[in-house]
Amino acid sequence: MKISGATKVYGIFGHPVSHSFSPAMHNAAFEALGLDCVYVAFDVQPKDLEASAGALRTMSVAGINVTVPHKESVIPFLDTVSQEAELVGAVNTVKNDGGVLKGYNTDVGGFLRALKEDIGCEPGGMRVALLGAGGAARAVLTALCMNGAREINVINRTVAKAQGLADEFQNSFEQIVINAHGLANADSVESCLAGADLLVNCTSAGMKGVESLALPLEALGSETLVYDLVYNPLETELVAAARRRGNLAETGLSMLLYQGAESFEIWTGARAPVEVMKQALSF
């Protein structure tokens, strides 16, 4: 990769951020398309977020991804926010359009593309069991609601958070049935799983170092699709168990890939070289 006086700078704001896979993925994509662009990680502390967002304008940084802990708190420092990002309440992609900072949430489109391309799932008309009520769950709920899911059961360890999320989205999407359940209520978890066309794990459970959820997977129908947003390890216990039962199941690496592809397309207007980006993610 050659850096010239005209190289456009892209990057990611996070804290910590050195573990991010995004620099490898985006630099591989820039190189593959011969674009004079570079992508770097910026470790931005929360107290410095406003000044750092302002520096995007003064230093003509072309675009950034935003990750933990800044996805929500960056919004007041942007000029516009997409409909998806507004519904999620979080931004993961910013484009600097001639000094105008535009915020997007590509986790929404990334999740949808992962469903469609990896497990052939179209959420329209589906009944969904959604585990979790944090930031990732909000992006998945937005994607499912905007794409015509029929019924969504939000299941979370802290039931009040599930209830808050379900109530908020029910107000915006009256035609969809959205209910909240506690993870500790074994009967209701079992009936949510039994009635689901799609089971999505949006909790951190099952990540390397975090115990997996004990779920009654025997309640799942044989056609139920399973998507686990967790991507480290590459095959989570949930995905392995679902596959053993014969269910089609996938981990979250594809969502990571497609959210990156969508960011790339927003910034450059070029079609993202998905295969190259996928190879860069192989860890």
List contacts with ligand NAP (CB under 6 A).
107, 132-137, 156-158, 161, 202-205, 207, 210, 213, 229-231, 252, 255-256, 259
Q: Which of 9/230 has CB closer to ligand NAP?
A: 230
Catalytic residue from among 2, 8, 47, 71: 71
250: tokens are 């996938």
- Tokens 């996928």 locate to 278
Question: Which residue has its beta carbon closest to ligand NAP?
Answer: 134
The CB-of-253 to ligand NAP minimum distance in angstroms stands at: 7
Name which of 39, 48, 45, 38 is nearest 16 in CA terms. 45
Place of tokens 């910590």: 16
User: Of 89 and 134, which has the nearer Cβ to ligand NAP?
Assistant: 134
Q: Are 138 and 246 spatial neighbours (Cβ–Cβ below 8 Å)? A: no
Which of residues 1 and 184 has its CB atom nearest to ligand NAP in the complex?
Answer: 184
User: Of 116, 75, 111, which is closest to residue 94 (Cα–Cα)?
Assistant: 75
What is the distance, to the nearest Å, from the Cα of residue 96 to the centroid of all Cα atoms in its chain?
A: 21
> In angstroms, what CA-CA distances link 3 with 6, 27, 59, 178, 216?
8, 12, 16, 50, 53
Q: Which is nearer to ligand NAP, 23 or 135 (CB)?
A: 135
Alpha carbons within 13 A on the beta-carbon side of 102 = 13
Q: How far is the CB of 14 from ligand NAP (least distance, A)?
A: 12
Looking at the Cβ atoms of 9 and 137, the one nearer to ligand NAP is 137
- Cα angle value 58/60/65 (rounded, 5°): 110
d(CA 13, CA 136) in angstroms, rounded, equals 18
* Minimum distance from residue 1 beta carbon to ligand NAP (Å): 25
Q: Assess whether 208 carries a catalytic annotation.
A: no
Residue 20 C-beta: closest distance to ligand NAP, Å? 12
Q: Do 92 and 65 touch, CB atoms closer than 8 A?
A: yes
Shortest distance, position 130 Cβ to ligand NAP, whole Å: 10
**Hunting for tokens 């590509």 — which residue is that?**
106
Q: Which residues are catalytic?
A: 71
